[in-house]
């Protein structure tokens, strides 16, 4: 018979939500190997965690953290806003963001046991969502913005500048939170996406009966409008739409940004 302790059985139950006898049998069948026992329970349909994994988890919370070594956004997903607002859930996503900011994205896998434990405690499909990590670089300035609703973060932004102040970085982060750019500059937009947009705008223009000779100029204007919507540097600054983000930045440059919004 495989050698394992009562503590091993309890640990397996905590990780999977399986019954006492099922957890014990799983360890017997797999010579006390914890990972193999977890897989065995999933395959037998005896793991409550496996059953929950099939349920949609479109709710959740996001957290942002900036430390001396790096900065991070972490999303933790769940099934209901009731759980997303709970103290244990919010505390864990905040703790995960702090851990990733200090140690990088790989930390999430190292914290799997904590996520699994909350999965069992709150009885929902709880899993990591999107994760962004910025390692600190010399001369850079990083700031963030977190929009909080019902005691949980729902919209998190990180911005890194070169030759910019903390205040400027924060202002850009606030802008991103509500303007939702998808790319930094137009050169970052995939060629196929630009081409698809061009075809769509051309079809719209033709359906509107625009003269053939005027189409190139009309398409150029409308495509520029598309870039203004999706590219941060071309967007009108939210607090002063008379100037673009590029103009607002002055001599500073945005090197990268990240945004995670629950449900988006």
What pTM was computed for the model?
0.77
Torsion sign (Cα): 91, 96, 97, 99: positive
Report the phi/psi class of residue 22: left, alpha or beta, with left for phi > 0 and alpha for psi in -120 to 50. Answer: alpha
Per-residue DSSP letter, 218: H
Q: Rounded mean pLDDT of 116-126?
A: 83
Q: What is the pLDDT of residues 168-178, one digit of tens each?
A: 999 999 999 99
Tell me, what's the pLDDT at 253? 97
Higher pLDDT, 61 or 206: 61
Q: What is the pLDDT of residues 182-193, one digit of tens each?
A: 999 999 999 999
Distances 7 to 14, 29, 57 between C-alpha atoms, Å: 10, 17, 31
Q: Band the pLDDT of 167: cuts 50, 70, 90.
A: very high
Tell me, what's the pLDDT at 77? 94
For residue 106, with 0-12 CB atoms within 10 Å meaning exposed, 13-18 middle and 19 or more buried, which class applies?
A: exposed
Q: What is the pLDDT of residues 32-91, one digit of tens each?
A: 888 888 787 776 665 565 555 556 668 999 999 999 989 999 999 999 889 999 999 999
Q: Rounded mean pLDDT of 158-166?
A: 96
Residue closest to 168 by CA, chosen among 184, 176, 97:
176
Q: Lowest mean pLDDT of 41-45, 99-103, 144-148, name the range.
A: 41-45
Which domains does the chain carry?
A: 6-52 (1.10.8.10), 59-184+247-255 (3.30.479.20), 186-246 (1.10.286.20)
Tell me, what's the pLDDT at 32? 81
CB-hemisphere CA count at 13 Å for 207? Answer: 6
Tell me, what's the pLDDT at 97? 98
Mean pLDDT of the chain: 89
């Amino acid at each position: 018979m495989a050698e394992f302790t009562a503590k091993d059985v309890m640990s397996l139950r905590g990780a999977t939500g399986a019954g006492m006898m099922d957890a014990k049998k799983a360890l017997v069948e797999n010579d006390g190997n914890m990972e193999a026992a977890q897989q065995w329970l999933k395959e037998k349909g005896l793991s409550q965690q496996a059953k929950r994994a099939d349920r949609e988890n479109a709710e959740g919370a996001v957290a942002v953290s900036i430390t001396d070594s790096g900065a991070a956004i972490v999303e933790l997903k769940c099934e209901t806003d009731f759980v997303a607002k709970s103290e244990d859930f919010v505390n864990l996503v905040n703790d995960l963001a702090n851990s990733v900011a200090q140690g990088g994205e790989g930390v999430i896998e190292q914290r799997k046991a904590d996520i699994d434990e909350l999965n069992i405690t709150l009885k929902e499909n709880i899993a990591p969502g999107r994760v962004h990590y910025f390692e600190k670089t010399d001369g850079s300035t990083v700031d963030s913005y977190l929009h909080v609703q019902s005691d949980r973060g729902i919209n998190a932004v990180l911005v890194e500048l070169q030759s910019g102040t903390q205040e400027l970085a924060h202002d850009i982060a606030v802008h991103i939170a509500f303007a939702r750019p998808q790319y930094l500059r137009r050169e970052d937009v995939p060629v196929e996406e630009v081409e698809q947009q061009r075809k769509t705008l051309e079809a719209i223009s033709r359906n509107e009966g625009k003269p053939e000779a005027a189409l190139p100029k009309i398409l150029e204007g409308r495509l520029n409008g598309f870039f203004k919507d999706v590219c941060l540097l071309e967007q009108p600054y939210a607090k002063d739409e008379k100037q673009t983000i590029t103009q607002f930045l002055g001599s500073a440059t945005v090197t990268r940004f990240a945004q995670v919004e629950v449900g988006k």
